[in-house]
Amino acid sequence: MKRRPFLFAALATTFLTTPAFAADVPEGVTLADEQTFTYRTLDEFSSFDPQVVEDVDGSNVVRDLFEGLYNQDADGNIVPGVALNHEASDDNLTYTFNLRDNAKWSDGTPVTAGDFVYAWQRAVDPELASPYAWYMELMAIENGASIIAGEMEPTALGVSAPDDTTLVVKLSEPLPYFTKMVTHATTFPAPKWAIEEHGAQWTRPENMVSNGAYVLTAHVPKERSVRSRNEMYWDNENTVLDTVTTYVIGDEAQGLTRWRAGEVDMTDIPAGQYPALSQEFPNEAFALPRLCNYYFNFNLASGPEAFKDVRVRQALALAVDREIIVDRVLQGGQFPAFSFTPAATAGFETPDIEMASMTQAERDAKAKELLTEAGYGEGGEPLSFTYLYNTSEAHQQVAIVATQMWKQKLGVDVTLENQEWKVFLETRGAQNYDMARGAWCGDYNEASTFLDLLTTESGYNDAKFSNARVDELMAEAKSSNDPQPLYTEVEQIVAAEMPVIPIYHYSTNIMLSESIQGWPINNVEQNWYAKDLYRIAD
């Protein structure tokens, strides 16, 4: 088998000699005496077990406690973690990762390829029943789906360790973005001996063994968690922050108050407060692009008859003035959207979409024309439907503004209906709606994480959009070396068919104390590592 060494091989050699991927403190900066970082989280974490954790805040902690094959740098590119580099076979179905030999667990045991094999088998094991087992399925690891379905033993998973520093992964499909997926918590190694000794309690601070730059030293659920520097971490000497503390603060406004009082270094900005706060704290209020979209689903399966007419869908999409929603209503640095995939997605070029290049006046005129043509609106049949969203002030504001635009410009009557989150999910999932809010955050930084949603078979295709060409293109993209033209075509089909109306792409709004430096503001997944941060003296 001919193997193509990955670009990393060259990078990794330099990497071993210079701390290029640890906290990068510029010359002349005075570090604070106390290297601490404190931040707010909204909820208690779902778990600290890498194969079980399913929330964003929990994953942020797990990324500090454990280190996977690769990490992300400040721009979201993959950089060596436990793996130094990898080789892919010609058919891209076999990946061989070469692991560093100096990585250690916090109890001093070396980190081996076997720890990854154990962890990955664990992730698909029906006995652990991890809700994130789907991620392994998404990674297309050989036999993953059959193991989850209980048809094969976990040991049949396509991952093996010929020796302690070699990990071989076999895929069932040649995913072009496979290596990007191994920065995810589900793929982190797990310490078999600690898990077997303590069972579900192995994630308690007193029992936990981890291989990341930090170890868990205290955890008071729903109040705080503290992680401290892991002396055994292979790059410990280049880690600057000593302790990282999280406080669970359920109330956003209270989070901001405690940020003002200096009790936390970082907190989310409550909806609508970004403009005022960025005036008051120009160097500490951030609006960063984020890998999430916001859209309206048409129910194409059992919604109003009118939605079956593409002109009606186009008209409604055209009449929404996204600038107003973004600049006047949300005011948090969001981006008006005409494509489903956010522009910030790595390697994704937003295709030319006609609607995007029109002025709003042109869009409005075209909307009226299309709706009249379809026989609805002024002079035609009255159009009315219900818009469903999950209870939240921000969603309500968007709903009111958008439906007012339809009312004023097109004479369309929309009834608003809001439901509590889980009720909403059930209703939407069962297609018991006319039009419903939708939003999606990328699982990895590649366009397919969004566009896969629009394929016929997708479980998250709430609009029930089905287009044979889209299915074909997305299947092709899974093994293509250059999927961008395929994605462009999918976006163009979606813009023409308009099964969903893209409204905006999210931004992350945070207050971050000026003394904390090294934040990866360009990483659109907002995957940050405390080992890359440092606190400067006031």
Partner 1 sequence: MLNYTLRRLLMVIPTLLILVIFAFYLMRLAPGGPFTSERPLPPAVMANVLERYGMDEPLYVQLWTYIKNIICCFDFGPSFAQKDRTVNDVIAQGFPVTLTYGFWSAVFVLMLGVPLGIIAALRHNGFWDYTMTGLAIFSQIFPNFVLAPLLVLLFTLSWGLLPGGGWNGGQWQYIVMPAIALGTSYMASVARLTRGSMLEVLGSPYIRTARAKGLPERTIILRHALKPALLPTLTYMGPVFVYMITGSVFVDVFFSTGGIGQDFIDGAYSRDYSILLGLAILYAVLTFALTLAVDLLYAWIDPKVRAGLS
With contacts defined by CB under 8 A, name the span among 44-52, 346-354, 478-486, 517-525 that binds partner 1: 44-52
With contacts defined by CB under 8 A, name the span among 229-237, 279-287, 332-340, 425-433 that binds partner 1: 425-433
3-state secondary structure of 176: coil
137 contributes a contact to partner 1 by CB under 8 A: yes
373 contributes a contact to partner 1 by CB under 8 A: no
538 contributes a contact to partner 1 by CB under 8 A: no
Size of the site for partner 1 (CB under 8 A): 55
496 contributes a contact to partner 1 by CB under 8 A: no
Residues with Cβ < 8 Å from 98, sequence gap 6 or more?
A: 83, 84, 85, 86, 87, 165, 166
129 contributes a contact to partner 1 by CB under 8 A: yes
5 contributes a contact to partner 1 by CB under 8 A: no
Q: Which residue, 134 or 519, has its beta carbon nearer to partner 1?
A: 134
In degrees and rounded to multiples of 5, residue 127 shows phi and psi of -70, -40
121 contributes a contact to partner 1 by CB under 8 A: no
Q: Which residue, 126 or 382, has its beta carbon nearer to partner 1?
A: 126
200 contributes a contact to partner 1 by CB under 8 A: yes
Q: 301 to 340, contacts with partner 1 by CB under 8 A?
A: none
46 contributes a contact to partner 1 by CB under 8 A: yes
The rounded distance, in Å, linking the Cα atoms of 334 and 508 is: 8
Contact yes or no for 298/463 (Cβ under 8 A): yes
DSSP string computed for 390-443: ES-HHHHHHHHHHHHHHHHHH--EEEEEEE-HHHHHHHHHTT--SEEEEEEE-S
304: which 2 tokens?
A: 């109003």
Q: Which residue, 203 or 341, has its beta carbon nearer to partner 1?
A: 203
Q: 431 to 450, contacts with partner 1 by CB under 8 A?
A: 439-440
The rounded distance, in Å, linking the Cα atoms of 392 and 112 is: 46
Q: Which residue, 263 or 373, has its beta carbon nearer to partner 1?
A: 263
Q: Which residue, 9 or 439, has its beta carbon nearer to partner 1?
A: 439
Distance in Å, CB of 458 to partner 1, minimum: 10
512 contributes a contact to partner 1 by CB under 8 A: no
Residues with Cβ < 8 Å from 468, sequence gap 6 or more?
A: none
The residue from 75, 91, 223, 457 that contacts partner 1 (CB under 8 A) is 223
Contact yes or no for 510/269 (Cβ under 8 A): yes
347: left (phi over 0), alpha (psi -120 to 50) or beta: left
Distance in Å, CB of 13 to partner 1, minimum: 40
341: which 2 tokens?
A: 């995939």
44 contributes a contact to partner 1 by CB under 8 A: yes
The rounded distance, in Å, linking the Cα atoms of 159 and 206 is: 31
The residue from 26, 28, 108, 150 that contacts partner 1 (CB under 8 A) is 150
Q: How many CB atoms lie within 10 A of CB 2?
A: 6
Distance in Å, CB of 127 to partner 1, minimum: 8
Q: Give the DSSP letter of residue 381.
A: B
The enclosing H or E element of 227 equals strand 224-229
The enclosing H or E element of 387 equals strand 384-390
Distance in Å, CB of 228 to partner 1, minimum: 17
Q: Which residues bind partner 1 (CB under 8 A)?
A: 43-49, 52, 54, 126-131, 133-134, 137, 145, 148-150, 200-201, 203-204, 220-224, 247-251, 253-254, 257-258, 260-261, 263, 420-423, 425-427, 429, 439-440, 459-460
